[in-house]
Structure 1
Amino acid sequence: MMEKKIKMTQAIIDQYGAINGDNDTIHYDADLASRRGFRGTLAHGLNVMGYAAGLAARRYGADWYTKGELYTKWIAPVCPGDNLTVSLRDDGEIEGKVDQGITMVGHARLAEQ
């Protein structure tokens, strides 16, 4: 199993938002996020998924870029202050977890030819 551990911060969320152009205030306004029932602003799902894709690239090498298949389903949010762990099991299953529980599930594997 491979893992990546990230201490999620607002700075990471802000930097990712600047890269992808997602200006939804739920990622940047803690008061708004709180009023909507969240623990804080929300990390971008694609940012969290990107950590899984990075693990897959390390596991599968160059084949990942032409034969890779990535599927994710978000279960719960990732917020600033969370200790995020993204794992890729030997069977290709991925999971994202924070202290409160599972946030993302799915798989990263090479497509069948």
Structure 2
Amino acid sequence: MKRTLEITQAMIDGYGRINGDNDIIHYDHDYAVERGFNGTLLHGPHMTAFAADLGAMRFGPEWLTRGKLHTKWIGPVYPGDTFVASVADDGSLNATSSDRTVMVGSIELVD
């Protein structure tokens, strides 16, 4: 099972308004480039939210009461990237952004 999204600055801006993260690295392209990135950065919790969607798709309503999600962010995601989060049959989670691994983890139900 997988989810594919085209990342836009508008998505990053919208998520920032919701979560209150005003760190300039997410909004100012030149600032992010000066710090060694290719552009502004998608918020890590935003990546995790895409993974949580996979848990809900896989387990349905049980996900809300028994779902367990573990993620580790290991690479940046930029506007213009294609973000693909996938979960294997064993519950292992992998996410890529323009063919670079950017997040790993697991999805499962617990008792």
> Fold match, TM over 0.5?
yes
Normalised TM-score (structure 2)? 0.96
Normalised TM-score (structure 1)? 0.95
Read off the aligned partner of 1:107 and give its amino acid letter. Answer: S
Name the residue aligned to 2:56.
Answer: 57
- Please, which moves more after superposition, 2-11 or 93-102? 93-102
Name the residue aligned to 1:80.
Answer: 79
Residue pairs, 1:10-89, within 5 angstroms: 10-89=9-88
Q: Percent identity?
A: 50
Stretches of structure 1 lacking an aligned partner (at least 5 in a row)? none
- Equivalent pairs counted in the alignment come to 111
Helix, strand or coil: the match of 2:71? Answer: strand
The whole-number CA distance in structure 1 between the counterparts of 2:99 and 2:62 is 35
* Per-residue deviation, 1:28: 0.2
Residue by residue over 1:20-50, the C-alpha shift from the partner in whole angstroms, topping out at 9 and shown as x without a partner, is 1110101001111001100110001111111
* Per-residue deviation, 1:100: 4.5
Read off the aligned partner of 2:3 and give its amino acid letter. Answer: K
* Per-residue deviation, 1:83: 0.7
CA RMSD in angstroms comes to: 0.8
The whole-number CA distance in structure 1 between the counterparts of 2:35 and 2:16 is 20
